[in-house]
Amino acid sequence: MSRTDVHGTVADGFEPVREEFAAVVAGQDGRAGAQLTAYARGRRVVDLWAGDEVGGDTLTGVYSSTKGAATLVTALLVQEGVLDLDEPVARHWPEFAAAGKDTITLRDVLTHRSGVIGVDGGLTAADLADDTVIARHLAAQRPYWKPGSAYGYGGFVTFAMVNEVIRRVTGQSLQQVYDERVRIPYGLDLYLGLPEAEERRFRPVQRWTATPEQEAAFWSDLPGPHSILGVAYGLNGTPPLDQVGFANTRAVRANGPASAGGVGSARGLAALYAAAVWGIDGRPPLLKPDTVGEFAMPHSTGGDLVRGDQGNYALGFQAKGLRYAFLGANAFGHDGSAGSESFADPAGGIAFGYTRRRFGFGWSYPEHDRLAAAVHRAAT
């Protein structure tokens, strides 16, 4: 059996998705270790996998796709009136008011407009494994730009702030609320805090493939460790943050920090979005249409002060309607550093989940466009 063999099933009419997935996997020479799952209006229609030691129930690090689950928890609490998006964070977390952060709201944090993207002294890998530790460090930090004047993606720390607010307001962590309200009742294969018993299904994340010359050129093109990008990506830590090592660390998986520490499968990612909008397996949708509407609205667009590129952020989620031109205006989801992608497209009725074990060089994942388009074409 070749490692480019494609396993799994598709519903009638979704055969072209299987063909596109097979072409993607062949182009990767099977080395990425990929999974693809899709739902159409709450019904699973695509469930495929291929490559290195990857099965349909394999779990791997989904990095910032974790933010989708974390945002779903936030949206539930907003929907119930427990959280108020436009209240200052410091109302519930007084220490956060330091250094000009007193008027920053939860909405500012969720839309990456707070300017709080790391700390001057750097965060260690151990710090980044625990949202409460991250939050303690962030409380004293001055924002890296005037809050509200711009936005910049806070990859590894944003949801530690959200988590702290949730903890202060509810007495529970974001991870606890997620388990009780979302993961367990809906049976999602997506963990913010992976139980020891599930570790056997975890496959370590793999480094990207590059020559030493490519690798050296890549890093020399990046801004320095104390730049805004450097701070946001942990390059000012000692040692600098190793993203591959991050998800491969048991402490990270055990805690499941809400910005990037989640572990899951394509099944889990797709099911999360299907459960949010349409409901799955006879269970009702988690979010009301008005809540979906609020969280799917683009809030932060144009130039990203951290990444330097043009980003599209809704509220906690990424605005996928601006990412994929064929989707509806209110599509929303979140990708992840190792190449995961996930979203719901309410207009097209689609929930989409994709993972890969191996990073792409320079975080480049052209297959996202191909696979999302194939699912969209088949479903609409």
**Interface residues with a second copy (CB under 8 A)?**
99-100, 111, 115, 120, 142-146, 149-150, 222-224, 226-231, 290, 293-294, 297-303, 305, 310, 315, 321-322, 325-330, 347-348
Query: 261 vs 298, which CB is nearer to a second copy?
Result: 298
25 vs 358: CA distance, rounded Å: 12
Minimum CB separation of residue 78 from a second copy in Å reads 13
- 71 phi, psi to nearest 5 deg: -70, -35
Minimum CB separation of residue 63 from a second copy in Å reads 23
Q: Could you tell me the strand order of the sheet in which 7-10 lies?
A: 7-10, 43-50, 34-40, 350-356, 341-345, 332-333, 318-319, 310-313, 300-303
Query: H/E element holding 356?
Result: strand 350-356
Using CA atoms, how far residue 101 sits from 2, 59, 215, 299, 372, in Å, is 55, 38, 38, 20, 39
Minimum CB separation of residue 138 from a second copy in Å reads 15
Q: Which long-range contacts (CB under 8 A, 24 or more apart) does 213-217 make?
A: 214/361
Minimum CB separation of residue 318 from a second copy in Å reads 14
* Cβ pair 55, 49 in contact under 8 A: yes
Minimum CB separation of residue 346 from a second copy in Å reads 9
| Amino acid at site 237 | G
Query: 145 vs 218, which CB is nearer to a second copy?
Result: 145
* Cβ pair 123, 198 in contact under 8 A: no
274 vs 24: CA distance, rounded Å: 24
Query: 209 vs 227, which CB is nearer to a second copy?
Result: 227
Q: Using the Cα atoms of residue 164, residue 106, residue 114 and residue 291 in order, give the sign of their dihedral.
A: positive
Minimum CB separation of residue 230 from a second copy in Å reads 8
Query: 52 vs 87, which CB is nearer to a second copy?
Result: 87
Query: 129 vs 162, which CB is nearer to a second copy?
Result: 162
- 67 phi, psi to nearest 5 deg: -60, -25
Minimum CB separation of residue 38 from a second copy in Å reads 17
Residue length, the chain?
A: 380
Query: 33 vs 143, which CB is nearer to a second copy?
Result: 143
Query: 274 vs 372, which CB is nearer to a second copy?
Result: 372
